[in-house]
Amino acid sequence: MEPTSPTDIRIAEHVSRALSEQAPVVALESTVIAHGLPYPINLETSLACESVVRQHGATPATIGIIDGVPTIGLSEDEIKLFAARQAPDGRPIGKVGLNNLASVMARGAWGATTVASTLRLAHAAGIRVFSTGGIGGVHRGAAETFDISADLTALGNTPLICVCAGGKAILDLPKTVEYLEMLGVPLLGYCTDEFPAFYSRSSGRTVDARIETLDEAAGIAERHWRICSSTAVLVCAPVPAEFEIAPDEIEIAIDKAMITATRQGIRGKALTPFLLAELERLTGGKTLEANRALLVNNASVAARVAVSLSR
Ligand code: PSU
Ligand code: MN
């Protein structure tokens, strides 16, 4: 790997080659590896996402911060370190959003990037498609806590296609959808009329447009960017049906997890990882299976979008 740009980022050679050939590239985040899933399923899932992107003819670029350097295209050995949440010298690998990105870089630390920081870094590298599990959004109780994910900020000022299974079910999804509308981010439902609810395929909220093919996603994004050159386009792919958890079942678990979080005083950055881990426990691992399935599904959708966009 070699430094490629004046903006302090490092692009792995295979990624920079693909970009220079205008070949399809899909960015992937590292917070979901380090803080969203337990070891070792996080490692296996991350490598499965990379592999499904390659199977569809695109180049995966998992993004994370190594010794203060945002790295576009982690190697398998580097992904292993993120999965174990530990730098080679034993330093922990924390969660890095937009607020702490620059300080982590300045300190020369390692960091796992969220949707927000991955979007910004992918854009800086010239990548146009990004895949995640579920975006962050407006948290339940936000009227009191003001806890709204910087993922929404980044979606409002970064022109990438972001593939997701909707918003994480732990959020206030109706408010999240309103917020995305305010930002002017188009919500495209891939073979669905509804904004998906992560573990469940429906949320009761509609998307802006249903699409049946991923060429349509690329076509809409190109038109969107000609007029609104700074916002993301969200492609929403519901969790594969065989892994769906019924909305009422997951609601009961979320209510319990939220009560535990409040009781233990868990807030801010720690809330999302805590709730995801609690849900896994409360559903006997069902949320984990769903999470893995939707991540791999989204990576496959993103690869096909990237291929279409590069034509
Ligand atoms: N989606 C998942 N698992 C995750 C996340 C998303 O399936 O762990 C992570 C993403 O990195 C997202 C972050 O950006 O959670 C949002 O955290 P917060 O709500 O603190 O902004
Ligand atoms: Mn937050």
Query: pLDDT digits over 217-276, tens only?
Result: 999 999 999 999 999 999 999 999 999 999 999 999 999 999 999 999 998 889 988 999
Q: What is the DSSP string of 248-272?
A: HHHHHHHHHHHHHHHHTT--GGGHH
Amino acid at 222: E
- Which one of 62, 114, 199 would you pick to mutate in the ligand 1 pocket, going by the greatest count of ligand atoms within 8 A of its CB? 114
Q: Which residues surround ligand 2, an ion (CB under 5 A)?
A: 147
> What's the CA-to-centroid distance between 81 and ligand 2, angstroms?
25
> What's the CA-to-centroid distance between 215 and ligand 2, angstroms?
34
In words, the CATH class of domain 6-247+291-310 is alpha beta
Distance CA 3, CA 6 (A): 8
Task: Judge whether residue 36 has pLDDT over 80.
Answer: yes
The residue whose C-alpha atom lies closest to atom 8 belonging to ligand 1 is 36
> What's the CA-to-centroid distance between 219 and ligand 1, angstroms?
28
Could you read off the pLDDT of 95-129 as tens digits, one per residue? 999 999 999 999 999 999 999 999 999 999 999 99
The residue whose C-alpha atom lies closest to atom 20 belonging to ligand 1 is 269
- Which one of 45, 113, 115, 295 would you pick to mutate in the ligand 1 pocket, going by the greatest count of ligand atoms within 8 A of its CB? 115
How many alpha carbons fall within 13 Å on the CB side of residue 35? 22
Q: What is the pLDDT of residue 298?
A: 98
- Kindly compute the dihedral angle of the four CA atoms of residues 103, 109, 110, 111, in this order, to the nearest 10 degrees: -20
Distance CA 219, CA 210 (A): 13
Ligand 1 within 6 A of CB of 118: no
> What's the CA-to-centroid distance between 136 and ligand 2, angstroms?
8
Could you read off the pLDDT of 1-29 as tens digits, one per residue? 444 454 689 999 999 999 999 999 999 99
